[in-house]
Homo-oligomer: A and B are copies of this chain.
Amino acid sequence: MISNDPYAELEKRFARMSAVNRASAILNWDRSAIMPDGASDDRADQLATLDGVAHEMMVAPDMPELLGRAEEGKAGLDAWRAANLREMRHSWIHSSALPGDLVEARTRARSACEMAWREAKKNADFKSLLPTLSDVLTLTRRIGEAKAAVLGVSVYDALLDEYEPGGRSAHIDVLFAELKAFLPGLLARVLERQSQAGEALPLAGPFPLEAQRKLGLQMARALGFDFHHGRLDVSAHPFTGGTPDDVRITTRYDEADFARALMGTLHETGHALYEAGLPRDWRRQPVGQSRGMVLHESQSLLMEMQACRSSAFIDFAAPLMREAFGKGGPAWEVGNLYRIYTRVRPGFIRVDADEVTYPLHIVLRYRLERALLAGDLALADLPGAWNDGMKELLGIVPPNDAVGCLQDIHWPDGSFGYFPTYTLGALAAAQLFAAARQAVPDLLGAIGKGDFAPLLAWLRTNVHGKGSIAGTDAILTEATGAPLGVAAFKAHLESRYLPA
């Protein structure tokens, strides 16, 4: 039975799917943060069922007709509704492009591969991962092929499109080539300069967990996190989950090093503020979702890297850190803390990388995952190619695969096409922060007083409140005057790490 107002009927259905997906989001958070171990099968069954329910709603037999009839009447829709309809179609394409058995097969393959990966990483034994990773790669390629056929793009771009709608490798190639031409030279100069300056004084712990937790809450609140609509908890791998009205961030504490948990909290707070700032009237519709992983990562990196490693922020944070842990002396002076927070050093591990070397980790992964998908690189040759790339890009070779090609869960998880969004997010963060500084008088002065309200207001207007009304580049162009590029990022790194 087809409704007389197909667009209204679609809104109703997508609101319902949103409710199911938001339920899943809370259950996923619970699983990663607080669920007792013994409940994992039970929870997997719940989540698979809810995914199935939402999928059935999406691929209901009358959806093509509903979408088609709504699109015929598009001229009568306002900008939000027209964009919403476009996003509905986009979601439907991604869901309906795949035969159900392919999705299920990949879900099973991912579970098996993730289990094998935990063992393989523990034992630094890449060979043991080959059979299951090969399955995941094959099935992911088939998914990419199915979507590529419908979207009219390459296999890689079809996969990328799941994380960054409209993202295209032709554009990434250009941006990454510029980074690859720029970063190694910059890195050498920064290392030279930092080596001349000598090591920063270490911060002596231990740092009691409760004091860390309080400091993290205080900082998240300062950035604008609203605990009336969210929580901060602990999990093995920090993440942002939940829903826009119920954002849940996690961190993990290390008694020997408070900086990591704190910076992790500020990073996740950036993600959380994006979710919390999505357009209130549309957040249960496709157009009210966050735009994609590039803007999402831009919001976490804008907070963590652009704002909270600035010397202005350290001015604000240093006395609070000293107070939280009852510390003092030269190591806790602003100058020394700033050196700690802006230290650059090539390393094997992506998640521990500073903002200068991080993009090189991504350039490597982007190159390798495209070659794997295209069949130009055999899985068995991955470790060698990885180590060659590390040598070329960062000048170091991992001693074993555990700290090499086995370090990330993304490929075992079938998330090919995800990696580039980290660095594209870093570029967008630099570009947005520069634009915010231009638009808001004395933005850094406010941050130096712990006042994030001017920054948050600008982000609410120019990023968060846009939801998915336009594409990433259109949002960036309206906010910053230009589509995504490397100029602001380069300028940021030079001004922070090679100040005149």
Contact residues in B for A23 (Cβ distance below 8 Å)? 23-24, 27, 46-47, 49-50
Which residue of B30, B49, B231, B244 is within 8 Å of A26 (Cβ)? Answer: B30
Please tell me if the beta carbons of A37 and B246 are within 8 angstroms of each other in the complex. no
Which residue of B20, B36, B243 is within 8 Å of A50 (Cβ)? Answer: B20
Give the shortest distance, in Å, between A60 (CB) and chain B (any CB). Answer: 13
Query: Any chain B CB within 8 A of the CB of A38?
Result: yes
Please tell me if the beta carbons of B16 and A245 are within 8 angstroms of each other in the complex. no
Query: Any chain B CB within 8 A of the CB of A221?
Result: no
Which residue of B36, B52, B227, B230 is within 8 Å of A227 (Cβ)? Answer: B36
Query: Any chain B CB within 8 A of the CB of A226?
Result: yes
Contact residues in B for A256 (Cβ distance below 8 Å)? none
Contact residues in B for A39 (Cβ distance below 8 Å)? 229, 243, 245-246
Query: Any chain B CB within 8 A of the CB of A75?
Result: no
Contact residues in B for A376 (Cβ distance below 8 Å)? none
Please tell me if the beta carbons of B19 and A230 are within 8 angstroms of each other in the complex. no
- Identify which of A27, A41, A46 gathers the most chain B CB atoms within 10 Å of its CB: A46
In A13-69, the 8 Å CB interface with B consists of 16, 19-20, 22-24, 26-27, 30, 34-39, 41-43, 45-50, 52-53
Query: Any chain B CB within 8 A of the CB of A228?
Result: yes
Known contacts A42-B245, A42-B246; decide if A231 and B22 are in contact (CB<8 Å): no
Contact residues in B for A42 (Cβ distance below 8 Å)? 22, 243-246
Contact residues in B for A47 (Cβ distance below 8 Å)? 23
Which residue of B37, B53, B226 is within 8 Å of A228 (Cβ)? Answer: B37
Give the shortest distance, in Å, between A225 (CB) and chain B (any CB). Answer: 11
- Identify which of A20, A49, A226, A229 gathers the most chain B CB atoms within 10 Å of its CB: A49
**Closest B residue, CB atoms, query A276:** B38
Q: Scoring A residues 340 to 353 as 1 if CB is less than 8 Å from chain B, else 0, what string do you get? A: 00000000000000
In angstroms, Cα B243 to Cα A142, docked, is: 37
Contact residues in B for A24 (Cβ distance below 8 Å)? 23
Contact residues in B for A230 (Cβ distance below 8 Å)? 36
Known contacts A36-B229, A36-B230, A36-B246; decide if A45 and B27 are in contact (CB<8 Å): no
Which residue of B30, B36, B45, B246 is within 8 Å of A43 (Cβ)? Answer: B246
Please tell me if the beta carbons of A34 and B231 are within 8 angstroms of each other in the complex. yes
In angstroms, Cα B22 to Cα A45, docked, is: 9
In angstroms, Cα B27 to Cα A20, docked, is: 12
Known contacts A23-B46, A46-B23; decide if A246 and B53 are in contact (CB<8 Å): no
Contact residues in B for A36 (Cβ distance below 8 Å)? 227-231, 246
Give the shortest distance, in Å, between A57 (CB) and chain B (any CB). Answer: 9
**Closest B residue, CB atoms, query A42:** B245
Contact residues in B for A52 (Cβ distance below 8 Å)? 16
Which residue of B16, B48, B243, B246 is within 8 Å of A49 (Cβ)? Answer: B16
Contact residues in B for A48 (Cβ distance below 8 Å)? 19
Q: Scoring A residues 459 to 487 as 1 if CB is less than 8 Å from chain B, else 0, what string do you get? A: 00000000000000000000000000000
Give the shortest distance, in Å, between A269 (CB) and chain B (any CB). Answer: 15
**Closest B residue, CB atoms, query A229:** B38
**Closest B residue, CB atoms, query A45:** B19
Contact residues in B for A53 (Cβ distance below 8 Å)? 20, 53
Contact residues in B for A27 (Cβ distance below 8 Å)? 23, 26-27
In angstroms, Cα B37 to Cα A246, docked, is: 9
Contact residues in B for A16 (Cβ distance below 8 Å)? 49, 52
Give the shortest distance, in Å, between A55 (CB) and chain B (any CB). Answer: 13
* B-binding residues in A (CB < 8 A): 16, 19-20, 22-24, 26-27, 30, 34-39, 41-43, 45-50, 52-53, 226-231, 243-246, 284
Provide 6 A-B residue pairs closer than 8 Å at the C-beta atoms, listed in order of the A residue: A19-B45, A23-B50, A27-B27, A35-B246, A39-B246, A42-B244
4 more contacts with CB within 8 A, not counting A26-B30, A35-B246, A39-B229, are A19-B45, A19-B50, A20-B46, A38-B245
